[in-house]
Amino acid sequence: MILVLGHVTARPEHFDAVLKLSQQHVARSRAEPGCIAHAVHRDTENPLRLVFVEKWSDMAALQLHFRVPASREFGKALATLASEPPGLEIHEAAEVRPAG
């Protein structure tokens, strides 16, 4: 499984636009092949910062997601509305169940 953690901090005057674009992106991404989960959350310590948490079945599915024109357009739009460059981390993970 591939985990993706992303974030963007909006300029105050563009927060509503960033949130709307982000929610649209999440809804669109959830329908893509290999998407297990995709969500956006508001940071409780910085209300202008949105955090993305994604789970993908494998790297091939994530790479396909990155090639979707709407995903590229989303990234470009975020960059123009953000107060700093958006961040992205990609991790390969295996689910571990707690003993008990």
Lookup: tokens for 9 = 């901090």
- Asked whether the predicted pLDDT for residue 100 surpasses 80, the reply is no
Question: For the residues of 40-72, what is the DSSP string, one character each?
Answer: EEE-SS-TTEEEEEEEESSHHHHHHHHHSHHHH
- Asked whether the predicted pLDDT for residue 1 surpasses 90, the reply is yes
- Asked whether the predicted pLDDT for residue 55 surpasses 80, the reply is yes
pLDDT in the model for residue 99:
87
Lookup: tokens for 56 = 């993908």
From the candidate CATH numbers 3.40.50.20, 3.30.70.100, 1.10.3720.10, 1.10.8.80, the one assigned to the domain spanning 2-92: 3.30.70.100
Query: % helix / strand / coil in the chain, to the nearest 5?
Result: 40, 30, 25
Mean pLDDT of 53-81: 97
pTM of structure: 0.92
Nearest to residue 29, comparing CAs of 38, 41, 20? 38
Mean pLDDT of 26-43: 98
Mean pLDDT of 1-17: 98
Mean pLDDT of 9-36: 98
